[in-house]
Structure 1
């Protein structure tokens, strides 16, 4: 709770008989303050209904009594003790507003109304008791300084409660993200989502990115994103689960990630977010990104080909074994020509255009390839292996 002080500028001294007359009027002043608040701040009309009305009137009366104890202390007294109790009560009041989901607008309006009514009523009593004009001015200063102090304490309580509630909600959402990635059962996931106050979307898309980037990206993609941290590797990675990021939403995600190294998994039903995460993680493990965001949907072939890099390397070595007797430069040229030939289905001019060579060069090289590979080029299984082996750069 914040420390609070009343201004020390006033040299007000209230005679004991004035203090006594003011104290006698506190129940009536508190009643009129609450009535004015109900009349002028509509959002409190239902809140003060029934038995709650008496409780609120008592709270207002206690706050006014605290003020009178400060006034009675005079300029040489120490108001800290009576002020502390009032400030603590105002702080708790601000917390209550936040936990009820209300802003500070209504409470601050209530403070303004209460200050006006309390000052009017207390001033009438003080004047009737013989308080002179100069003392009345200093009395007004003390009244409004007191209300300002209580208002500031309530604002602080409201802000602290929101911050605390936000931290609790964030921790609950992190637990939900962890449960989604662990593929917990549906009942558990729904219960965790409700506890985390997380609106369940239709789909989720996993994004894997460096941990230090996650706050900035979350700010752009919205508070509905779930976050988790994977610190099991050499570098800490963050996992972001983005709701309903398909179609235009996916383009928005990729734009937000522009210029950053990140891996974006496929859209999946929200309970199957782990599938999207594994796809993004596979792309990260294969190192397919080059410092910019990688959309895994655009790299499915590489993900399939490199799902097992060692298996792909073995397949390539076996399929291209007939070229082992050639020099490295010749083997590379013939492999390049064979790849283009297979992908262009033997259209010589298309192969020549892709390789930037003459069509006769293509014919010559393919004559060498047919001589080296022989009947393998007529075997469907061997052709399949060659297409897979040559469809991606050498790993």
Structure 2
């Protein structure tokens, strides 16, 4: 029996073997609250401080204290959007986001409209790249925060963050960047690129689930979303998850060391995969053909449903996605694919393949063959 092939690293990444080894170094019975000052507490403080330094190094900030740890990217996005908007409302009550943002950005941005904020969704082109002219028209002096992801999780398109930053800062606003899918894949430098707030996920770096981080540029004021103790500069109250935070720090360190070589390796596999699958009749690449994440290949197929593709590929031993894992259960057309101009029927026929360290070039023929077989069989029985 052939081994399964896992191609949904955008939804969940296996823990990096080096992180797993690091985690096993914690002794049995390890305990320590970083808010205490006895030996165990000081050891926990040191573990968290080291992780903070490693995450800071990955994103290019010279200020480790600008990193706060959270339960994951969704919480980081909520703190960034809600916290920045509410704390700085005296400067304006307008929020701008791209039309292709992750739902954990769009929903908080929509929710604060109940408090009187106005939300504008900036359009993207057919490749999913932000329309800079439209963004410039949307961002006004009253726009308190603008959120543009570094790269899209469904179509892999990388955004021109430096150009976006210049537009936002010209009007005096704050720029939030969701880098969940970009971190560890492409270089990030928050200081060079003018990023005020940046979201990270521990799992997407090859660390454990249930931990994330938010970079907040020194001087930027953010209101807590939760209230409690004073942990994480008062912005994320609650006893720190020391074990998960330490492991995320190690994942960040390894991602920084391995990014150049691993991204080059995965890009070669990605390109071979794209060439093979787009050779199938009525199969089309979605996202930018060049400015895309090195591990990301996304497609649409005419006259078949993405859920059917996913199930059929699973039967053949290959795990793929159809849209975002956070929205795929809704059975609605992807808002990302609609935003790049696809019709509802076209948007329903999507397949996303995201590669990881266990994937290799030898798997490509089997994947392409399975996709071809799946598409042919489903089209033979589809009523579309």
Structure of higher CA gyration radius: 1
Please confirm whether the aligned pair reaches a TM-score higher than 0.5, indicating the same fold. no
Higher relative contact order (CA 8 A, sep 6+): 2
Larger relative helix fraction: 1
Question: Normalised by the size of structure 1, how large is the TM-score?
Answer: 0.18
Question: Normalised by the size of structure 2, how large is the TM-score?
Answer: 0.19
Larger relative strand fraction: 2
